[in-house]
Amino acid sequence: MRHVFAGMFCLALAGTGCDSGPGYDTPEAAAKAMAEGFTKKDAKAAERMLPPEDKLKAHFDCPDDKLVKGRQKRLERWPEELAKAPAGMTMEIGAINAEESKTETLAKDADYEGCKVKEPVTIRALRLTLKITVDGKVDDDGETMRFVKFGDKERWYYFKL
| Cα–Cα distance measured from residue 161 to residue 159, given in angstroms and rounded to the nearest whole number | 6
pLDDT in tens, 15-37: 333 345 589 999 999 999 888 88
Range of the domain at 78: 2-158
If phi over 0 gives left and psi between -120 and 50 gives alpha, with beta otherwise, what is residue 50?
Answer: beta
From the DSSP assignment, how many helices (H) and strands (E) are in the chain? 5, 7
Contact 19, 25 (CB under 8 A): yes
Helices (H), 40-109: 45-49, 53-59, 66-84
Predicted model pTM: 0.83
Number of domains in the chain: 1
- The CATH number that applies at residue 17 is 3.10.450
Residues 69-86: tens digit of each pLDDT: 999 999 999 888 888 988
Q: In what order do the strands lie in the sheet with 121-134?
A: 90-106, 121-134, 137-150, 156-158
Q: How far apart are CA 134 and CA 156, in angstroms?
A: 29
